[in-house]
Amino acid sequence: MEIEVQKQAKVPLLSRERVTGYAHFENVTPSRLDIKKALAAKIKAAEDCVVVRHVYQKYGARKAKIIAHVYADQAVMKELEPQKLLEKNGLAAPVQAEAPKTE
């Protein structure tokens, strides 16, 4: 898999950088975790501060558009990103709902 970075836009107010690009691949669409590892290596960022927001795949195409956020600090990342997205990126453990109490 090869990552092609199209645009990097700094968002200083939110302490993050928005990265837009393409993932080129041979067989199946790579997982978010594989894309996150390759993107972190490409832009030389810490892997645990990268959140892949979207992966847009077209049928039959051997590339997918990716949108990711790269944070400077994990605390800010956990505050701004939704819990479900952090779970998808392997950055948080799934939260289990409590069973209703019956008495």
Q: What one-character-per-residue DSSP string does the chain give? A: -EEEEEEEEEEGGGTEEEEEEEEE-SSSPPPHHHHHHHHHHHHT--GGGEEEEEEEE-TT-SEEEEEEEEES-HHHHHHHS-HHHHHHTTSSPPPPPPPPP--
21-31 pLDDT, tens per residue? 999 999 899 99
Residue 97: per-residue pLDDT: 66
> Domain limits of the chain?
2-88
Prediction pTM value:
0.82
Confidence class of residue 90 from pLDDT cuts 50, 70 and 90?
A: confident
Confidence class of residue 92 from pLDDT cuts 50, 70 and 90?
A: confident
38-71 pLDDT, tens per residue? 999 999 999 999 999 999 998 989 999 999 999 9
- Percent of the chain scored above 70 by pLDDT? 96
CATH class belonging to 2-88: alpha beta
